[in-house]
Amino acid sequence: MDIHTNIPLKNYLTMKIGGNARFMTEVHSREELAAVCENAKSKNIPIFIIGGGSNVIARDEGYEGLVIRIRIPGFEIISEDDSSTTIRIGAGENWDSVVKRSVDMKLSGIEAMSGIPGTAGATPIQNVGAYGQEIADTLQSLEAYDLETKSFVTMQNSECGFSYRDSIFRSSSAGRYIITSITIVLSKYMPKPPFYDSLQRYLDEKQIKIFTPDIIRNTVLEIRKDKLPDPAVQPSAGSFFKNAIVDKWQAEQLKPSYPDMPMFEMADGRFKIPTGWLIEKTGLKGQLINGMRISPNNALVLINESAHSYDELAKARDEITIKIRDMFRIQIEQEPLEM
């Protein structure tokens, strides 16, 4: 296991900005992870974890610590019965490859999360989701290395504190656990409509009336091809903003002024408002701000056309958030993590 020094983070993050990491290494097993973490902790060197680098933003000053790239493999069927199959997946596995493999096995539960970049181990951190599915729906448990106790722990779904694009791994326990594997339970039954609104509309337009995991996967990939740029071609971090969450009273205040504003009631009584819609209403969709292009196809996506610094990205982000706050009195949040 090699540890490299002064590594440009922009070469490992899909937004293609950021300074240098003081140290960087890859780990391919639980044992390697434990060893490198104990060594770093003994020298008081901070640790930051990345998978595919698609949901992380680095600052211009870089990271004065050790960046660990998780490459732990694994795809193992743990158990199955007449209705479901339980699979343990290494944290370093490419997420879309995991989805494809499960779809090839005719299993459902994660097919709508096709095309999401990154690794399997990153999915619980922000409770990754798309088109009506999220990892919290299928995750049974996960294994992680606990930096405080220097031991491996198994955490059940109920211990992860999942909520919309959030978990304890990016809130109350941020930086404590390093996920090494996830265990998910997938269904042997076919997906059933109605599906997520935009997905259902596309299926209806194409007059698709038979629903299998591979049909849903292929449909989602088609939708994403038009709406989300390939970060390997156009540098981005995917959806840069979370959808807005507002209390019921605020939703009721907004509706008379914006009767066409889409709102979706959540289980806790609050309402989710698509941030892409909010950005469109400000007139910023498609505009270039400090080298960052607000995608003309999906206003949630910031494409790095010519920005070379975190400062340029931050100014573009702040201009968008301020305009939305001033127009709607809604404070939107950035989705990617920052190191």
93, 143, 312, 335: the active-site residue: 335
- Kindly state whether residues 182 and 273 are assigned to the same domain: no
Q: What is the pLDDT of residues 67-93, one digit of tens each?
A: 999 999 999 999 999 999 999 999 999
Dihedral of alpha carbons 253, 254, 260, 264, sign: negative
108, 236, 239, 295: the active-site residue: 239
88: alpha, beta or left? (left if phi > 0; alpha if psi -120 to 50): beta
pLDDT over threshold 80, residue 287:
yes
What gap in Å lies between CA 146 and CA 155, rounded to an integer?
A: 11
Write the burial class of residue 161 (CB in 10 Å: 0-12 exposed, 13-18 middle, 19+ buried): middle
Q: What pLDDT is recorded for position 229?
A: 85
Q: What pLDDT is recorded for position 231?
A: 86
Q: What pLDDT is recorded for position 230?
A: 85
| Residue 228, domain member (yes or no) | no
Boundary (domain end) residue, out of 44, 70, 96: 70
71, 88, 165, 317: the active-site residue: 165
265 is an active site residue: no
Q: What pLDDT is recorded for position 338?
A: 94
| Residue 141, domain member (yes or no) | yes
93 is an active site residue: no
Q: What is the pLDDT of residues 182-215, one digit of tens each?
A: 999 999 999 999 999 889 999 999 999 999 999 9
- Kindly state whether residues 79 and 145 are assigned to the same domain: yes
- Kindly state whether residues 277 and 309 are assigned to the same domain: yes
| Residue 220, domain member (yes or no) | no
165 is an active site residue: yes
Share of the chain above pLDDT 90, in %: 94
Residue showing tokens 């870089």: 62
Residue 32's pLDDT band (cuts 50, 70, 90): very high
What gap in Å lies between CA 162 and CA 172, rounded to an integer?
A: 12
* Selected residue with higher pLDDT from 300 and 230: 300
- Residue 16 DSSP one-character state: -
CATH number of the domain to which 8 belongs: 3.30.43.10
Among the listed residues 36, 85, 99, 90, the one whose alpha carbon sits nearest the alpha carbon of residue 65: 36
C-beta pairs of 153-157 under 8 Å, 24+ apart in sequence: 153/177
- Domain interval for residue 283: 236-338
pLDDT over threshold 80, residue 1:
no
88's tokens: 């343990």
Q: What pLDDT is recorded for position 226?
A: 81
- Kindly state whether residues 86 and 27 are assigned to the same domain: no
| Residue 48, domain member (yes or no) | yes
263's tokens: 């709102």
Number of domains, the chain: 3
- Kindly state whether residues 90 and 157 are assigned to the same domain: yes
Residue 107: how many other CB atoms lie within 10 Å: 23
Q: What pLDDT is recorded for position 83?
A: 98
